[in-house]
Amino acid sequence: MNAPFVSDLPSSDMAERLRAEAAIEPDPVSTEPVKKETQIIAIYGKGGIGKSFTLANLSYMMAQQGKRVLLIGCDPKSDTTSLLFGGRSCPTIIETSSKKKLAGEQVKIGDVCFKRDGVFAMELGGPEVGRGCGGRGIIHGFELLEKLGFHEWGFDYVLLDFLGDVVCGGFGLPIARDMCQKVIVVGSNDLQSLYVANNVCSAVDYFRKLGGNVGVAGMVINKDDGTGEAQAFADSVGIPVLSAIPANEDIRRKSANYEIVGTPGGQWASLFEALAEQVAVAPPVRPNPLTHDALLNLFKGDAVGRGVVLEPATIEDMCAASIIEKKSLEVIYEGA
């Protein structure tokens, strides 16, 4: 027999029931150590701008500072971890998942995650050329990570290396679905990399309008030659410059030889120590993306061709001949 609803009880019984509920002591306050929240940071930039270089050295320095760091390559080129592992490529999640599925086996963490000097790293990978969508591959990769317990892992930082040339589908996943707390853009003093950085800022701004929480923590200027366009861009969109890595021959040569330069005590240690500190504390902010013309205005006129007038084409131009205008066969009714 079901117990009577409180409202069905006589007033005296109802009062007694309410007193009994009020007398129940709440659960004691937990005295367990507070579980620290993992900072998940997505790093975007134009292909070839130096995201993988920056992240390999940043993650290595963080690990030497005692942080637990997971680096995940989300670029179909699968080259994020190459520098970290001295030029060796590691099996990707997409490739490993396909092979294991054909063999009727389950993917284990040791099949896809590898470590060096305290840094844990993996590559999502992507489909072979012409055989699938890179963005969809990223989505599939994250679905597998969730099955492997991604949300239960105990890292201080998870760094996601994303190709920024396109911010759609799987490539925009962290921003669109609040999968990270903040975004960092990597750029240089050239129009194309700043165009990509501005696209990423536009994506963040768009999803903030829809109620999203992801913000841009700042910008890393790589191969900085001192001309100032990247700094001007950061000032214009309202984000800080977290670090400016100089265009230096020693850095270029060591990077080309798959050497980590962000090692404690090394020549470039202070650079990456400062970057690690900035990445940790920089708050996510909502950027103010530039219009295309405003982006062009960061550069000198002789570099971007300003002053050129857009002359509309005509149908004669398109056909390379004069066009005989045909009268309309439309019937026009009086009073219509």
The verdict on whether 46 is a catalytic residue reads yes
Tally Cβ neighbours within 10 Å of residue 5. Answer: 8
Helix, strand, coil distribution of the chain in percent, nearest 5: 40, 15, 45
The verdict on whether 223 is a catalytic residue reads no
Pick the catalytic residue: 67, 77, 100, 115?
A: 77
Pick the catalytic residue: 8, 13, 36, 46?
A: 46
Tally Cβ neighbours within 10 Å of residue 147. Answer: 11
* H-assigned helices in 5-133: 11-22, 51-64, 93-102, 109-112
Pick the catalytic residue: 13, 27, 35, 51?
A: 51
Query: Is the Cβ–Cβ distance between 50 and 222 less than 8 Å?
Result: yes
Distance CA 186, CA 58 (A): 13
Q: Which residue has the tokens 């929240």?
A: 37
Helix (H) or strand (E) run with residue 254 in it: helix 249-256
The verdict on whether 254 is a catalytic residue reads no
The verdict on whether 77 is a catalytic residue reads yes
Query: Please, what is the end-to-end C-alpha distance for the chain in angstroms?
Result: 77
Residue 301 neighbours by CB under 8 Å, 6+ apart = 307
Pick the catalytic residue: 75, 165, 205, 224?
A: 165
Identify each DSSP E strand in the chain by its residue range. 39-45, 69-74, 114-116, 119-123, 157-163, 182-187, 215-224, 241-246
Catalytic residues: 46, 51, 77, 165
